[in-house]
Amino acid sequence: MIYLLDVNSLLALGVLHHEFHERVADWVARLAQKGIPGLATCSITELGFVRVLSQAQQYRFSVVQARELLLQLKASESIHCPFIPDGNDISHLPKWVKSPKQTTDSHLLGLARANGAQLATLDGKIPGCFLIPQTR
């Protein structure tokens, strides 16, 4: 199974002092132990990673530093991280989307499904996603 990480999950994996780093890192380690192929990113999640890290005061990253961190994360031997190209336009937006906050989540969910992956997230309010489990 391939898991498309949403922006917050990707941030949590890449930033050691993110509040959910341990939760996501433990889950990824369990996947690796089970031989599950990997995680995926896409344009939205990669751009969101760079945008959030370079805008959020608590992280103090420049755009260049955020980009480099993501490239290092994707190149890590312990994480297989393919890129899912995005060809979905607005016609793919599901009818359950009623608020602006749901647009990106629904797009990522549809993109994951269209590519045989699951959307992995820390947000339990996205219907049909895979909720990254709590650390034990």
Q: What structural domains and CATH numbers belong to the chain?
A: 2-131 (3.40.50.1010)
pLDDT tens digit sequence for 70-98 = 999 999 877 778 899 988 788 888 888 88
Q: Is the pLDDT of residue 15 over 90?
A: yes
Q: What percent of the chain has a predicted confidence (pLDDT) above 90?
A: 66
pLDDT tens digit sequence for 50-67 = 999 999 988 889 999 999
Contact 6, 103 (CB under 8 A): no
Contact 73, 13 (CB under 8 A): yes
Contacts of residue 49, defined as CB under 8 A and 6 or more positions apart, other chains included, come to 7, 10, 11, 14, 41, 66, 70
pLDDT tens digit sequence for 117-130 = 999 999 998 989 99
pLDDT at 13: 95
Contacts of residue 52, defined as CB under 8 A and 6 or more positions apart, other chains included, come to 7, 11, 59
Q: Give pTM, 2 decimals.
A: 0.91
CA distances from residue 133 to 24, 57, 111, 121, 123 in whole angstroms, order as listed:
8, 28, 22, 9, 11
Q: What percent of the chain has a predicted confidence (pLDDT) above 70?
A: 99
Q: Where are the alpha helices (DSSP H) in the chain?
A: 7-14, 21-33, 43-55, 63-75, 103-114
